[in-house]
Structure formats: C-alpha cells, structure tokens
Amino acid sequence: MDWLPLLSTLAGAAIGIGSTLIADRNRWKREDVKDGVRLRLDVYTQYTTTVKVLGETLRALAGREHPSDDARAHALREAFRDSGIGIASERMWLTAPEPVVKASNGVFHCLRHICDGYVEGTAVSSPEDRARWEARGIAAAKMRRLMREDLGVGPLTERHSPLLDDYTDPARP
C-alpha cells in the first residue's frame, strides 16, 4: 500500500481544519471587539443623555416657585435620585475603561454639587451657579473626549453650543 497519498490527504485536511479554526477565532475576536464598542456606545449614550436631562431638570426645578425651601430641596433631591444617573453611573463603572470612569465620575460630582447648591438656595444664573455649570461643562467636555477616543471616532472640531457645556443662560450674551 502506498502511504504517500493518504498522508498528503491527512496533512491537507489538518491544514484546512487548522486554518478554518484560526479564521473562526479571528472572526470571533473581531466580533467580540465590535460588541464591546457597541456596548460602550450604548452606555456612553445613556450616561451623557442622563447627564443632560438631569442638568436641565435641576435648573428648571431651581428656577420654579416652591411652597417652602424644604419642598424645593425635596424636589431637587428626588429629581437627582429619580433621574437614573445612579444606574447609568454603575453601568459606566462596569463597562468603561478607567479614564472614562474617572471623567464620568467627575461629571456626576459636578451635578451633585449643582444640586446641593440649589438645595442650599443658590439662585439660577448667579455667579456661583455659573461657576458650577462651567466646572460641569469642562468635566463633560473631558469625558466626551475620552469617550470618543475609546470608541475610536476621533475628536470634534467644533462644539454644538457656544459654551463648554450645554448650559445657555438667556441673560448672558
């Protein structure tokens, strides 16, 4: 019996199976990377949307008339708690790389500081309020830059609002 054709067939089969396994593994790695990017995009979108909506809600509540200072404080704290920022923040802590987590935590604390300021009676558009919003804007810009880097989409060349954040005061030019 001639073993050469049988051995060459077996070698060809082994090479074919090996290359198929390697190709499948590479395809799986690419899909895993794409799934990770999609997940982080979802988490980042949820977080940035929650941050924006919470900021608008806090500003609106702070500018509204309330029956008492306690009622105002309760409304602000409840809005912060009910905003979903806690859940969005936890998702960020579980899925994002450390620089993005640190930056998003900075934005969270800026919003907490804004909320606490309003609870303490800070007036909307006061110099103290503007300083807090500016700090939030700087923190949010850093967070978005890091998110974009992580997603591989590159930096933006222009902002969508004239300030560093989404806060626009009608009284300011």
| pTM confidence score | 0.76
Closest to 51 in 3D by CA, of 83, 97, 90 = 83
- The pLDDT of residue 71 is 96
- The pLDDT of residue 143 is 97
Residue 116: what residue type? Answer: D
Q: Give ∠ CA 70-71-76 in degrees, rounded to 5.
A: 100
Q: Which tokens in the block code for residue 130?
A: 């503007």
Q: Which tokens in the block code for residue 159?
A: 């902002």
* 173, pLDDT greater than 80: no
Rounded Cα distance between 171 and 63, Å, is 14
The Cα diameter of the chain in Å comes to 101
